[in-house]
Structure 1
Amino acid sequence: MNQPVTSKESVIDRLDALYEYDREPVDKKKLHGWKTFIAMFAGEHVAGTEFVLGPLMVMHGVSAKDFLWGLLVGNILAVLSWALLTSPVAVKTRLTIYWQLKKVIGPYLTIAYSVFYALILCLLAGSMVNVAVTSISMPFGIPNPDYIAGDIFPSFQWMLIALIVGIVISALAVLGFEKIAHFSKICAPWMVLVFFASGIAILAKLKAATPNEGFWEILSTQIFTGVPIGANTKYTFWHVAGFAWLCNAHQHLGMSDVTIFRYAKKWTQGFASAFGMFIGHFGAWIASGILCAAYLSEGFTNPQPGTIALYGAGFAGAIAVVIAGWTTANPTLYRAGLAIQVVTPNWKRWKVTFAAGIFMIITACIPAVNANLDRVVAYNGLFFSPLGAFIILDVWLFPKIGLISYFTEKSRKTFSWPSALAWFGPFLLSMFIYGKDNFAFLQKMTEGKLPGWIAGIKMDITFLVGPEWLIAALLYVLFSYIQQKTKTNSQLIAEGGLS
Structure 2
Amino acid sequence: MGVKKWLNFEEAKNVDEYEREPVPKSSVKSFKEFVSLVAGEHIAGTEFVIGPLFVLHGVSAIDVFVGLLIGNILATLSWTLICAPAAVKTRLTIFYQLEKICGFGLVSIYNFINGLLFAVAAAAMIGVSASAIGILFGVKGPGLTSLYPESFEWVMIIVAVGAVIAIVATFGFEIVAKFSSLFAPWMPFVFLAAGLAVLPQLGVTSFGNFWQVANESIWTGTPQEGATQYTLIHIIIFSWLCNNAMHIGLADMSIYRYAKKASYGLASAFGMFIGHFMAWIASGILCALALKQGNTNPSPGEIAYLGAGVAGLICVVIAGWTTANPTIYRAGLAVQGLMPSTKRWKITVIVGIASTTLACFPAIVSKLDQFLGWYALVAAPVGAVVMVDIFLFPKIKMVSNLAEVIKSPFNLSVFFTWAIAVGVSYGIYVYLDLDFAFFVALPGWLIGGVLYVIFGYIQQKLLSEKLKSLGI
The TM-score bracket by the shorter chain reads: over 0.9
Work out whether 1:18 is the aligned partner of 2:15.
yes
Report 1:171-190 matches (<5 A).
171-190=167-186
Question: What's the offset of the Cα at 1:458?
Answer: 4.2
- Aligned-partner SS, 1:137: helix
Which residue number in structure 1 is paired with residue 33 of structure 2?
A: 36
The partner residue of 1:153 within 149, 161, 179 is: 149
C-alpha separation in 2, matches of 1:432 and 1:459: 13
Question: What's the offset of the Cα at 1:17?
Answer: 1.0
> How far does the alpha carbon of each residue in 1:151-191 deviate from its partner, in whole angstroms, 9 at most, with x for none?
52231111111111111000100011111111111101111
C-alpha separation in 2, matches of 1:498 and 1:199: 64
Question: What's the offset of the Cα at 1:299?
Answer: 1.4
Q: Kindly indicate whether the alpha-carbon contact (under 8 Å) linking 1:207 and 1:213 is maintained by their aligned counterparts in 2.
A: no
Q: Kindly indicate whether the alpha-carbon contact (under 8 Å) linking 1:55 and 1:288 is maintained by their aligned counterparts in 2.
A: yes
> How far does the alpha carbon of each residue in 1:440-459 deviate from its partner, in whole angstroms, 9 at most, with x for none?
xxxxxxxxxxxxxxx55646
Question: What's the offset of the Cα at 1:413?
Answer: 1.4
Any gaps of 5 or more consecutive residues in structure 1? 6-10, 437-454
Question: What's the offset of the Cα at 1:220?
Answer: 1.0
Work out whether 1:464 is the aligned partner of 2:460.
no
Report 1:147-226 matches (<5 A).
148=145, 152-208=148-204, 214-226=209-221
Which residue number in structure 2 is paired with residue 480 of structure 1?
A: 456
- Aligned-partner SS, 1:134: helix
The partner residue of 2:48 within 30, 51, 56 is: 51
- Aligned-partner SS, 2:186: helix
C-alpha separation in 2, matches of 1:316 and 1:457: 43
Which residue number in structure 1 is paired with residue 467 of structure 2?
A: 492
Work out whether 1:126 is the aligned partner of 2:102.
no
Question: What's the offset of the Cα at 1:487?
Answer: 2.9
- Consecutive aligned runs of 4 or more in structure 1 exceeding 4 Å deviation: 210-213, 455-459
Work out whether 1:383 is the aligned partner of 2:393.
no
Aligned length: 469
Inter-CA distance 363–498: structure 2 relative to 1 (3 Å threshold): farther
TM-score of the pair, normalised by structure 2: 0.96
The partner residue of 2:398 within 375, 383, 403 is: 403
Which residue number in structure 1 is paired with residue 105 of structure 2?
A: 108
Q: Kindly indicate whether the alpha-carbon contact (under 8 Å) linking 1:145 and 1:367 is maintained by their aligned counterparts in 2.
A: yes
Q: Kindly indicate whether the alpha-carbon contact (under 8 Å) linking 1:107 and 1:414 is maintained by their aligned counterparts in 2.
A: yes
Q: Kindly indicate whether the alpha-carbon contact (under 8 Å) linking 2:43 and 2:319 is maintained by their aligned counterparts in 1.
A: yes
Q: Kindly indicate whether the alpha-carbon contact (under 8 Å) linking 1:154 and 1:366 is maintained by their aligned counterparts in 2.
A: no
Inter-CA distance 492–292: structure 2 relative to 1 (3 Å threshold): same
> Identity of aligned pairs, percent?
46
Report 1:237-248 matches (<5 A).
237-248=232-243
Letter in 2 for 1:184: S
Inter-CA distance 459–228: structure 2 relative to 1 (3 Å threshold): closer
Which residue number in structure 2 is paired with residue 289 of structure 1?
A: 284
Question: What's the offset of the Cα at 1:212?
Answer: 11
Question: What's the offset of the Cα at 1:461?
Answer: 1.3
- Aligned-partner SS, 1:77: helix
C-alpha separation in 1, matches of 2:467 and 2:363: 52
C-alpha separation in 1, matches of 2:105 and 2:153: 42
TM-score of the pair, normalised by structure 1: 0.91
Question: What's the offset of the Cα at 1:486?
Answer: 1.9
Question: What's the offset of the Cα at 1:33?
Answer: 1.2
- Aligned-partner SS, 2:455: helix
Aligned Cα root-mean-square deviation (Å): 1.9
Letter in 2 for 1:486: L
Q: Kindly indicate whether the alpha-carbon contact (under 8 Å) linking 1:433 and 1:459 is maintained by their aligned counterparts in 2.
A: no
Q: Kindly indicate whether the alpha-carbon contact (under 8 Å) linking 2:144 and 2:298 is maintained by their aligned counterparts in 1.
A: no
C-alpha separation in 1, matches of 2:305 and 2:188: 15
- Aligned-partner SS, 2:407: coil
- Aligned-partner SS, 1:200: helix
C-alpha separation in 1, matches of 2:456 and 2:350: 37
C-alpha separation in 1, matches of 2:71 and 2:457: 34
Inter-CA distance 300–460: structure 2 relative to 1 (3 Å threshold): closer
Q: Kindly indicate whether the alpha-carbon contact (under 8 Å) linking 2:49 and 2:144 is maintained by their aligned counterparts in 1.
A: no
In our comparison, the structure showing a higher alpha carbon Rg is 1
The partner residue of 2:420 within 420, 425, 430 is: 425
Report 1:349-388 matches (<5 A).
349-388=344-383
Work out whether 1:322 is the aligned partner of 2:317.
yes
- Aligned-partner SS, 2:21: coil
C-alpha separation in 1, matches of 2:148 and 2:192: 33
C-alpha separation in 2, matches of 1:151 and 1:88: 40
Work out whether 1:62 is the aligned partner of 2:59.
yes
Any gaps of 5 or more consecutive residues in structure 2? none
C-alpha separation in 1, matches of 2:152 and 2:256: 40
- Aligned-partner SS, 1:168: helix
